[in-house]
Amino acid sequence: MRLVLLGPPGAGKGTQAKRLSERLGIPAISTGDIFRANIKGGTPLGQLAQSYTSAGRLVPDEVTNDMVKDRLAQPDTENGFLLDGYPRNAGQVEALDALLAAVDSGLDAVVQLTADTDELVARLLNRATVEGREDDSEDVIRHRQEVYLSETAPLVDLYSARGLLVAVDGMGDIDDVTERLQAALSALEA
C-alpha cells in the first residue's frame, strides 16, 4: 500500500507510522526524521534544513521534494510506503503526484489522524522534556501548529475530493489509536 499519514504536530503520527509500517511490512518514511538525521550528521542537507526546523518553518519545497524523490527511489519502497509528514503543502502534493505518475503509480489512501489542539500542545511540551528536540520550545510549537493549519490542513479537503481520505480519531490510548488505524486500513483492503 502507498499511504500518507496526515495530522497536526503532536498527533502521534511518528509512533503510529512505525507501528503500521511493521504491521503492513512497508517502510515508514518520515521527512522530519530524515532532516534530523542529516542535522545530527552535519551534512550539507542538514546544515540547510536546520534554520528552518529549529524555527518550526517548512524546509523549502525544492529541497524536501528532491529528498523524498531520492528516498522513494530506494528498492524497499517497491511494495509500498507510508509517508509521515509529507506532503505538507499543495506544492508538495503536486510533486508527489508527478513522482508517482512517472512510475504509473498513485496513493491508495491518505489517513488523517484527528486530534484536539490543546492536548497536542501539552503532548509536545511533554515530548520537549523527554526527547529534547530543539523545535519543541513553546513559541516554536505554536508556530508549527500555525503552519499546519495554514499550509497542511487544506490537504484534508484536497485528498477528500479525490476520494482518498480516511479520518481516524487520534485521541486517547496509543494502542487504541493503532487498532482504529488498522481497522480503517483493513476496511480499505476489503
Residue among 32, 95, 112, 121 that touches ligand AMP (CB under 6 A):
32
- Residue whose beta carbon is closest to ligand AMP: 32
Measured from the CB atom, is 151 or 188 closer to ligand AMP? Answer: 151
Cα 158 to chain centroid, rounded: 16
Q: Please work out, in degrees rounded to the nearest 5, the angle formed at the alpha carbon of residue 105 by the alpha carbons of 35 and 9.
A: 35
Is 162 in the active site? no
Instruction: Strands of 71-169 (E only): list them.
Output: 81-84, 109-114, 165-169
Segment 37 to 96, residues that bind ligand AMP, using CB under 6 A: 52-53, 56-59, 64, 85-86, 88, 92
Measured from the CB atom, is 39 or 177 closer to ligand AMP? Answer: 39
Q: Which of 127, 142, 162, 180 is catalytic?
A: 127
Is 13 in the active site? yes
Q: Please work out, in degrees rounded to the nearest 5, the angle formed at the alpha carbon of residue 182 by the alpha carbons of 179 and 185.
A: 150
Q: Which of 142, 144, 162, 180 is catalytic?
A: 144
Is 19 in the active site? no
> Number of residues in contact with ligand AMP, rule: CB under 6 A?
17
Q: Assess 136 for contact with ligand AMP (CB under 6 A).
A: no
Smallest separation (angstroms) from ligand AMP to the CB of 9: 5
- Residue 69's nearest CA partner among 96, 104, 46 is 96
Inter-CA distances, 119 with 11, 143, 167, 170, 183, Å: 9, 16, 18, 11, 24
Q: Assess 7 for contact with ligand AMP (CB under 6 A).
A: no
Smallest separation (angstroms) from ligand AMP to the CB of 189: 26
Helix, coil or strand: residue 104: coil
Burial (Cβ within 10 Å: 0-12, 13-18, ≥19) of residue 88: buried
Q: What phi-psi label fits residue 104: left (phi over 0), alpha (psi between -120 and 50 degrees) or beta?
A: left
**Residue ranges that bind ligand AMP, judged by CB under 6 A:** 9, 31-32, 35, 52-53, 56-59, 64, 85-86, 88, 92, 135, 144
Catalytic residue numbers? 13, 88, 127, 133, 144
